[in-house]
Amino acid sequence: MGRKIQVKQGNMSIDVDSTAQDIFLDVLKALPGETVKILEDTTDEIYKNAYQVWPVQQPVSTDTLTEEGKVRLTARNIAKTDSDYNLKRAMAASYKMQRLGTLRPPEFRIKSKGSKEKLYTAFVFAEGSLESVVGNTAPYAWAIKVGVDTDLPYALGARVSNELLWKPAKKKANRVAEELADAATDIARKVK
């Protein structure tokens, strides 16, 4: 998991590249006391808990597919893995393999789009403030719901991102505020 750094202004957000990242890392180091550590620990905890249980669609056996379905699945796999083949050319190759009797479709069809691997943590500089964020870059992440086969202790139909990212963040907000206030108090005592 790499931590991202973003800069926000209004509706616009920019991910900082590695060359400019040093500047922002210096800003983070200059923050007083344990501020960055408290924010990092909290977001890392939420990230790790979410990553452990984030639902992933299980592969589906291709035994029940029709011959046409096996041809199409093989063509999609060829088009995904070989950049020389677009889908039309891969379909032609799959039909030729079927005619020659050499078609070997995969045993399982992967349905997961990999939203689990798109979880991230970031520091966001927005209009004079610093935010520590846990999120998911998959555009459909908000729509993932707890299903019948999902092994999560939440209600059927509950949104996974709300249960694993938003609600834990809200629960930890008061604790983070208290820890930051304690750190600020410690700094004030040292200054006197």
**SS3 sequence of 52-120:** HHCCCCCCEECCCCCHHHHHHHHHHHHHHHCCCCCHHHHHHHHHHHHHHCCCCCCCEECCCCCHHHHEE
Please tell me the predicted confidence (pLDDT) of residue 80: 86
Burial class (CB in 10 A: 0-12, 13-18, 19+), 34: middle
96 band by pLDDT with thresholds 50, 70 and 90: very high
Q: What is the pLDDT of residue 113?
A: 85
- Residue 142 identity: W
Comparing 104 with 31, the larger pLDDT belongs to 104
Burial group, residue 121, by CB count within 10 angstroms (0-12, 13-18, 19+)? buried
Kindly indicate the confidence band of residue 2, based on its pLDDT and cuts at 50, 70 and 90: low
SS3 content of the chain, % helix, strand, coil (to 5): 50, 15, 30
Question: Residues 58-78: what's their mean pLDDT?
Answer: 88
Task: Evaluate if residue 98 carries a pLDDT over 90.
Answer: yes
pTM: 0.71
Region 110-132 average pLDDT? 83
pLDDT class of 9 with cuts at 50, 70, 90: low
Q: Round to whole Å and give the CA distance between 25 and 149.
A: 42
- What is d(CA 47, CA 143) in angstroms, rounded to the nearest whole number? 19
Interstrand relation of 12-15 and 129-136 (parallel, antiparallel or unpaired): unpaired
DSSP string, 123-141: EEEETTEEEEEEEE--TTG
The pLDDT value given to residue 1: 52
pLDDT band at 125 (very low <50, low <70, confident <90, very high): confident
- For 27-52, write each residue's pLDDT tens digit: 777 777 678 888 889 999 999 999 99
Indicate if the pLDDT at residue 106 is higher than 70: yes
